[in-house]
A and B are shown apart, each in its own frame.
Chain A
């Protein structure tokens, strides 16, 4: 037992190293191609026709994804979550690069989206394929896929802990020791890959800050603003996705139109274009000193542009846009504070921008730990920790009242496919009806007399008997001995009653395609604790409530990790 776990764990850790390298390289590859794309395209930044670029980029991006890579669209992250919950972490190999290319087109051309989701699915898919190569089992594969996602995030931001937190919070939805070790190794290696390319740089160096109690109180106000922005962001994204899907069925045309709208917004507010790391730096370093109105417009503009890009089918994530929106929001809030209380010396523009980033990120992806660690790590200091915790937690808690699922989970939840570990639905979905069927039974002929049936009751220990037509082998009905007890002791009826006449016509039947949760509902609605399983009119066996419970418990037990 111990040896089983030890061998497996060591193997898992070694493979996690490869996964970390894969995830890290994927993110660096995208980073380099974005840089290259930007260099080429931004030469035309001041030309009048520049507003068309996002549209062209989006169209290319969709064409590449649908026709060349023949992959399905989407954020990336929901696909990884789906694969982890439903498919034992299996992902297609082509997913490891399809979205990278598409996303590079979208973002380099000016589309407002983040590179994180595509990188996450690449890292995850690389991990999944490595796991398959080493013939890992579902459970280990899932841990490795989570590790690949962590490495990707860690490598983009040079933030290993944020990678771990993201993976546990958003991808897996649970914190367990085995997973943690695998994910941490991959995340650390992913970070190391990033440092080889860029050195140990802090992406957005802010501070040092002088934080007073007044600043902490002001944080509470900022968390409300973050919450409202997050809610607006999520609702608008869903709305645009819904509307555009309804009216335009072709993804290529849809994303083209979205790109065009983004280009138009970009003519007036060029800071909303692209993944937006540059504007974040400008805000934090104090290069921007926009007033209240402009910064508010930037917040709204970035949200709208992102929704047009992603909501219409553009390939890219929501992670970076959240950070951008947050930084503009922090700028706006800071300017508002200065305007309202000009005599107080506030902690500064960078401080509130960083907190805004944490607040919006925590709200939209509902992963406060990710927000907290990301901001702490990318600013390179722990002095903001208290404020970040405050803003992230308040923002994430408030939004749960209005949006119970994060932006990554809402699609899955709407389809009823969000199966969190160790939940009732997850366990029921693991169990298959075939595993629960009891094939021990004694078939009765419909024309049998009660006398003959009583002999059978005597010599068997069944309580339920299926009646089956001997000619066609079709199921006719079910007899429960309890229901007919009264007649069993009346010898006058022995030769007058036929088995057929004893059938209870109200007994529902279950088929192999039925979902287990529906079967349990049948039991809960007061039907007998035994139901017949019938497929194509053939009787297959019985399903017992007690057996389901027994199985369910064992399934729950083995889900546990010790």
Chain B
């Protein structure tokens, strides 16, 4: 695969003028094709490896940027909305919730569950008004950023801050603190609104919920 100066500059996280200078000084392997400087990707990668230079992988870069800019409604679309989650206490509902969601390969459900419990033992994530936002104690590498919404079959005691029983869970799963805080902030913006809470109590379908959140996101902007 052929690369141009600007691609190499991005891969190496250097400005284009540095790459141009290196070409002039003969410090980097390049070819001339139709009067333009081009780089063979394979050659560049082995050269970088030999010199112990770390190249930024483009695909990763793009995926990372997309993830960091993920909106609340997209995260919920990814995580899914589930109704009628069974369970009589915090452990049971979380156990069932983890079993229902889809995790990327290589992420152990048991580990996710344990981290969720660790966080609950630290301090309940029931933030009041019947809503809980369970999340693992630390961001888990390899997770896809998402929020899964679970409406409980029956309200349970979640040791919430206001001691009210909880009827809905927003399970937040992220791979970095940055994304976690972003999603959390967006979510709490919605949950602050009284009418959103009452909407949740009567919400019957996933489409309805996502539509409502998209509306709220628009109003925020």
Contacts and interface: CB of A to CB of B under 8 A. Distances in A.
B51 A140 contact: no
Contact of B14 (A3, A138, A140, A551): A551
Contacts of B15: 434-436
B46 A557 contact: no
A560 interface: yes
A558 interface: yes
Nearest to A553: B53
Given A432-B17, A435-B18, A88 B50 contact: no
Classify chain A's interface size: 20 to 34
Given A139-B27, A435-B14, A558 B52 contact: no
B17 A560 contact: no
Nearest to A141: B26
Given A137-B23, A557-B52, A4 B43 contact: yes
A139 B50 contact: no
Contacts of A140: 26
B25 A557 contact: no
A422 to B, nearest CB: 13
Nearest to B13: A550
A344 interface: no
A426 to B, nearest CB: 12
Contacts of B17: 432, 434-435
Interface of B: 12-15, 17-18, 21-29, 43, 46-47, 50-53
Q: Is the interface of A mostly helix, strand, loop or mixed?
A: helix
A36 B27 CA distance: 46
B51 A557 contact: yes
A4 B29 contact: yes
Most buried by A among B12, B18, B52: B18
B50 A562 contact: yes
Interface of A: 1, 3-5, 8, 88, 136-140, 430, 432, 434-436, 550-551, 554, 557-560, 562
A136 B26 contact: yes
Contacts of A88: 24-25
A551 B19 CA distance: 12
Contacts, number: 54
Contacts of A8: 26
B51 A558 contact: yes
A1 B46 contact: yes
Contact of B22 (A434, A558, A562): A558
B64 to A, nearest CB: 15
A137 B53 contact: no
A554 B27 contact: no
A8 B30 CA distance: 11
Nearest to B31: A4
Contacts of A562: 50-51
Given A1-B46, A560-B51, A562-B51, A554 B26 contact: no
6 contacts: A88-B24, A88-B25, A137-B24, A139-B27, A435-B14, A562-B51
Contacts of B27: 139, 558-559
A39 B29 CA distance: 54
Nearest to B43: A1
Given A435-B18, A557-B51, 19 more contacts: A1-B29, A1-B43, A1-B47, A5-B29, A88-B24, A138-B24, A140-B26, A430-B21, A432-B17, A435-B21, A436-B15, A551-B14, A551-B18, A554-B14, A554-B53, A557-B52, A558-B22, A558-B27, A562-B50
A557 B12 CA distance: 13
A436 B15 CA distance: 8
Contacts of A139: 25-27
Contacts of A137: 23-26
A3 B29 CA distance: 10
Contacts of B28: 558
B50 A1 contact: yes
A29 B128 CA distance: 97
A435 B43 CA distance: 24
A559 B52 CA distance: 12
Contacts of A435: 14-15, 17-18, 21
Nearest to A437: B15
A138 B26 contact: yes
4 closest cross-chain pairs (CB), A and B: A137-B26, A139-B26, A4-B29, A138-B25
Contacts of A3: 43
A1 B39 CA distance: 11
A136 B15 CA distance: 23
